[in-house]
Amino acid sequence: MKNKIIGFIGLGNVGSKLATNIAKSKNKLYIFDKNKDSYSKLKKYNLPHCNSLKDLASKCNIIITCLPSPKAIDNVIKKLLPNINENHLWIEMSTTDQNEMIRLSKLFEKKGGKTLEAPITGGEHKAKSGNISILSAGKRKNFDRALPILSLMGYKILYCGKLGNASTLKIITNYLASLHLLGIGEALAVAKKYGLNLGLTFNAIKISSGNSFVNETETKVILSGSYDVGFTMDLVNKDVLLFNKLGKKLNIPIDLSNLIYKKFSIGMKKLGKRSYSTSIVKLLEKDCNLKMRAKNFPKELIDYENKRKGVEIKF
């Protein structure tokens, strides 16, 4: 088997974009998703589809997963395990529980395979352009083997040490993003009720100490009225629940995180679990009888920068 025959499992909103950036390279790529309609997202690249996970494992020695939940990851790895050997490297790019990642890694390694976690962060638009950031953890030699492939999908790549570190850092960053989103909603509501132009408000926040990644990205699609961030409420609550679980295990008071979980649970009930995460501000709009809109803001987030060569960030 050649050194870089890649199998990609999970072609959802983000996975399909990551796989597309690999498809643009000269590497051999096989794809698999239980939803066969997902293959249409990469139709122009004429990629070979695997009929089963067994088929993928037999053809590929690099296996990448990008799946919606720890349960989905568990199901996939259990089906792969009978066909794993010392040639395989599993790169897990989902947001998952660090204990589950470690547990499944041990099962994978018992079969002779190698493992690396590499969750992404920075928004779906960055995943599309190939400029997403990647947090990676596991044995250094596995990271070195994976780095050329990670560089096809991302720009800033941070090696985080032992397995579990990257998953933990990812749920920390997702928790903060969700916290910022709720804060942005309340800030915009106050500005609107006061009579401030929300375009002015956005720019004032952007140049101030109150700025954040969320303001620079998600606020834009709130103000345009599309709310389109490609990330849904059920995924927010999944990630916040992982953060809560870790906080409780470490005996950390997590009042704010519990509040986030409660808010998004209400949001899912009223707006639907697959509604965009930014739609949480619609609850404020309804309660306050207002619309948070401003002119000249985009309906979707686009990264206009060309793909940058992926680099390892060192500190």
Q: Of 123, 142, 163, which marks where a domain is finished?
A: 163
> How confident is the chain (315 residues) per 10-residue block, as mean pLDDT?
83 96 94 95 95 96 96 96 97 94 97 98 96 98 97 98 97 97 98 98 98 97 97 95 96 97 97 97 96 97 96 94
Which pLDDT score, from 0 to 100, does residue 4 have? 87
Q: What is the CATH number of the domain that holds 154?
A: 3.40.50.720
Task: Report the distance separating Cα 308 and Cα 229, nearest Å.
Answer: 22
Q: Which domain holds residue 223?
A: 168-288
Residues 213 and 195 in one domain: yes
Q: How far apart are CA 79 and CA 76, in angstroms?
A: 5
Q: Are residues 21 and 127 in the same domain?
A: yes
Domains in the chain: how many in total? 2
Q: How far lies 198's CA from each of 151, 188, 204, 280, 287, in Å?
A: 38, 7, 9, 18, 18
| Cβ atoms of 131 and 307 closer than 8 Å | yes
Decide if 280 is inside a domain. yes
Does residue 298 lie within any of the structural domains?
no
Pair (268, 148) in one structural domain: no
The whole-number pLDDT of residue 55 equals 97
The model's pTM is: 0.95
- 283 within domain boundaries: yes
Among candidate residues 128, 163, 198, the one where a domain is terminated:
163
Is 296 contained in some domain?
no
Say if residue 137 is in the same domain as residue 279. Answer: no
Distance from C-alpha of 201 to C-alpha of 224, rounded to nearest angstrom: 14
Of the three residues 129, 163, 197, the one that is the final residue of a domain is 163
Q: Are 213 and 254 in contact (CB under 8 A)?
A: no
**Residues 174 and 140 both lie in one domain:** no
Query: Both 25 and 56 in a single domain?
Result: yes
Q: Cα separation of 220 and 201, whole Å? A: 11
- Do 215 and 283 have their domain in common? yes
Check whether residue 174 and residue 144 sit in a common domain.
no
